[in-house]
Amino acid sequence: MDFSTLALHGELKRGLAGADFISTMPVQEQVIANAFSGRDLYVQSQTGTGKTLAYLIVIMQRLVSEPALAGRKALIMVPTRELAVQVEEEAKLLGKHLPFKTGAFYGGVGYGAQQQMLRDDAQILIGTPGRVLDLNASGHMNLMNIAFLVLDEADRMFDMGFYPDLRKLAKVVPPADRRQTMLFSATLNTYVKNLAYEYTKEPIEIEIEPEHITVNEIEQTLYHVPASNKMKLLLGILRRENPESAIIFCNTKRYTEVVAKRLRENGIKCDFISGDLPQQKRLLVINNLKAGKIHFLVATDIAARGLDVEGLALVVNYDLPGEAENYVHRIGRTARAGKTGKAVTFASEQDVYELADIEKYIGKKIPALVASEDLYGEEVAREREPAQARPRQSRQSAPPRQSPPPRHTAPAGEKPRRNSQRPSPQQAAQPPRQDTVRRRAKPQRGEPKEAAVLGLPLDERMAYYKNKYADKRPAEAASYRNGGETEGAKGNPRKRRRRNAEAAIDTARTAHSMNIPSAEALENRQEHQAKKHSRRGGQGRAAGKPNETPKPANEQTPVSEPRKKGFFSNFAGIFKKKK
């Protein structure tokens, strides 16, 4: 069927003729036949089948011919910026003679130009979900006047995580009974179906089998090649086929840059695009490819959908894609709109395991070949800086290991360094310094603590023991002298203190009655008398008067019997002992 036979507006037919659109594609016939009545559509169709032109014709024809839709707008949602720019260009070409303003709204660029297009009352809006929601939230884009909602490449938007954005978008546009909704997807997807039935009203399903349109019309070839020989095989195929234009697909952003650089080193003018490039750079590269300024493009799957290059002759899968669907989208860049094309795929030991899923998805075996030696091209050796290798020495020729240098010694008249361990000759000749204060020798490791005290004179040794045990009670001192603990040191703490005091008194009396010339007995007796008089508040001889001279140790002093205490004295003594 030709477009000239359709009942379209004259200016729209003029735009179709100017863009060299003559015959309709199968998806275009079914969309046009069912959409002019205002019914919602759910279309399954591969990219490159002409679906973009199909929904643009429906939108423009209804806007220009139906008075009820005058002033209403159309919103077309796409997954990528490149596809948004491409749909904008096709809409401007098709509506060149129609009174419509078209604008594309996507991220990666400033808001100023896009806000100006909204102020100029753009009627056909093409955009990505994120930027459209931002403009709507800021109040610059009013979506309540939308008469058409188109979701192009809906399955791709779900793969990219746009499902939450699409649900938000459905809430800020008019309800389903006040708009016409058309969903286009390359594959049948549960999420797409749920969205279609949730936000559409009794949609008409249109299904175009992908294998009859894209796969069968492409000459496919598979080469089993080691990963190290991929570049040589790519150079040989490009020089043998000599295509007018080609796209080489890689799986990672890094490899797109590496492959493009190696192709340029071998005299092939090319460029690359990936998600890391700025939007202006990506658009410049695509425009150069469409204009013929460059003939070869290295890209990731970002260019696998929506990129329409007229007359693309060859597609090369430098890496097998990880998803079977992406294989169909990659080779679908060629053989578009009923034309033929070629697709060459490399299967190396790194990605050959993906081949079974791809062949199962397309429903056929890809013809496999083994690359012959004459097919490999000559690769120019990449310039590398020679590594400066260190000359190796054998153990026999290696120089002997030198001994460490001697430690630093200060010259005469200078002070030695702090880190020098050996004294200078001047220091060694000087006599050792005599300390003005006599220091006690420190005990050596493994010796008892008391060993250092044995070397002191008798007076100092006795003063040391006196100071050491002065704070101990008489019973504890007696226990230390006797070499063990007294009998009363066990049991209740209050009874233990009382028994220790009684044991000290008995020891002092025994020493005095036996007239033992011992300093220890005198010390015990003086301590006992001092404590006894202090409890009574007296200032006798035991308290230590300064004008009183102690009697000689050999003088016998009669020991008086202790006075018996009464009941009240004993009763009061109990409380004093507790203190």
Tell me the longest C-alpha to C-alpha distance in the chain.
154
Alpha helices for 79-176 (secondary structure H): 81-94, 112-119, 129-137, 154-159, 163-171
Whole-number pLDDT of residue 542: 42
Query: Tens digit of pLDDT for each residue in 56-76?
Result: 999 999 999 999 998 899 999
In whole angstroms, what separates CA 246 from the centre of its chain? 37
Closest CA to 163 of 201, 192, 136: 192
Query: Is residue 319 scored above 60 in pLDDT?
Result: yes
Task: Tell me the pLDDT band of 362, cut-offs 50, 70 and 90.
Answer: confident
The arithmetic mean of pLDDT across residues 121-148, rounded, is 93
The arithmetic mean of pLDDT across residues 238-266, rounded, is 90
Whole-number pLDDT of residue 76: 95
Which of 348 and 472 is assigned the larger pLDDT? 348
Mean of per-residue pLDDT scores for the chain? 75
Whole-number pLDDT of residue 449: 52
The arithmetic mean of pLDDT across residues 221-233, rounded, is 91
According to the 3-state scheme, what is the secondary structure of 60-73? Answer: HHHHHHCHHHCCCE
Query: Tens digit of pLDDT for each residue in 516-572?
Result: 445 555 566 677 777 776 666 554 444 444 444 555 544 444 544 555 556 666 666
Which residue matches tokens 């023991």? 465
What distance in Å separates the CA atoms of residue 27 and residue 45, rounded to the nearest whole number?
7
What distance in Å separates the CA atoms of residue 121 and residue 131, rounded to the nearest whole number?
18
For residue 323, the number of C-alpha atoms closer than 13 Å in the C-beta half-sphere is 9
What distance in Å separates the CA atoms of residue 563 and residue 566, rounded to the nearest whole number?
10
The arithmetic mean of pLDDT across residues 173-177, rounded, is 90
Whole-number pLDDT of residue 527: 75
Closest CA to 303 of 108, 82, 79: 82
Which range scores top for mean pLDDT: 106-115, 180-189, 273-282, 486-495?
106-115
What distance in Å separates the CA atoms of residue 221 and residue 218, rounded to the nearest whole number?
10
Whole-number pLDDT of residue 318: 94
Query: Is residue 187 scored above 80 in pLDDT?
Result: no
The arithmetic mean of pLDDT across residues 293-298, rounded, is 89
- Residue 469 CB partners (closer than 8 Å, separation 6+): 476, 477, 480
What distance in Å separates the CA atoms of residue 196 and residue 188, rounded to the nearest whole number?
11
Which of 479 and 88 is assigned the larger pLDDT? 88
Task: Tell me the pLDDT band of 223, cut-offs 50, 70 and 90.
Answer: very high
Closest CA to 449 of 439, 459, 457, 440: 440
What distance in Å separates the CA atoms of residue 429 and residue 414, rounded to the nearest whole number?
15
- Residue 536 CB partners (closer than 8 Å, separation 6+): none
For residue 227, the number of C-alpha atoms closer than 13 Å in the C-beta half-sphere is 9
Count of beta carbons in the 10 Å neighbourhood of residue 306 = 24
Helix, strand or coil, per DSSP, at residue 340? coil
What distance in Å separates the CA atoms of residue 485 and residue 267, rounded to the nearest whole number?
104
Whole-number pLDDT of residue 469: 58
Token couple for 455? 């070397």
CA distances from 229 to 271, 371, 453, 478 (A): 21, 10, 88, 99
Task: Tell me the pLDDT band of 450, cut-offs 50, 70 and 90.
Answer: low
User: Are 62 and 100 spatial neighbours (Cβ–Cβ below 8 Å)?
Assistant: no
User: Are 89 and 309 spatial neighbours (Cβ–Cβ below 8 Å)?
Assistant: no
Query: Is residue 118 scored above 90 in pLDDT?
Result: yes
Count of beta carbons in the 10 Å neighbourhood of residue 236 = 20
The arithmetic mean of pLDDT across residues 329-344, rounded, is 76
What distance in Å separates the CA atoms of residue 464 and residue 461, rounded to the nearest whole number?
5
Closest CA to 306 of 155, 410, 130: 155
Which range scores top for mean pLDDT: 53-57, 153-157, 274-278, 312-316?
53-57
Cα first-last separation, the chain: 123
Point out which residues pair with 44 in neighbouring strands.
Answer: 185, 207
Query: Is residue 38 scored above 50 in pLDDT?
Result: yes
Which of 241 and 528 is assigned the larger pLDDT? 241
Point out which residues pair with 43 in neighbouring strands.
Answer: 184, 206
CA distances from 154 to 73, 83, 129, 439, 468 (A): 20, 13, 11, 94, 94
Task: Please report, as a single letter, which amino acid is at residue 201.
Answer: K
Query: Tens digit of pLDDT for each residue in 409-443?
Result: 555 555 555 544 555 555 555 555 554 444 544 44
What are residue 230's phi and psi, to 5 degrees? -60, -45
Query: Is residue 393 scored above 50 in pLDDT?
Result: no
The arithmetic mean of pLDDT across residues 28-34, rounded, is 89
Whole-number pLDDT of residue 516: 47
Whole-number pLDDT of residue 154: 82
Directed axis angle between helix 163-171 and helix 190-199, to 10°?
A: 0
Domain ranges of the chain: 3-208, 213-375, 450-542
Q: Give the fold, CATH level 3, of 213-375.
A: Rossmann fold (3.40.50)
Token couple for 578? 């507790």
Whole-number pLDDT of residue 72: 92
What distance in Å separates the CA atoms of residue 143 and residue 539, rounded to the nearest whole number?
110
Q: What size, in residues, is the chain?
A: 579
Whole-number pLDDT of residue 174: 92
Token couple for 573? 């003594």
Task: For domain 3-208, give its CATH number from 3.20.20.30, 3.40.50.300, 3.60.15.10, 1.20.1440.230.
Answer: 3.40.50.300
Count of beta carbons in the 10 Å neighbourhood of residue 284 = 15
DSSP string, 218-233: EEEEEEE--GGGHHHH
CA distances from 89 to 6, 96, 295, 337, 562 (A): 23, 10, 21, 17, 128
User: Are 189 and 155 spatial neighbours (Cβ–Cβ below 8 Å)?
Assistant: yes
Which of 256 and 311 is assigned the larger pLDDT? 256
Which residue matches tokens 């299967």? 347
Token couple for 324? 């079977």
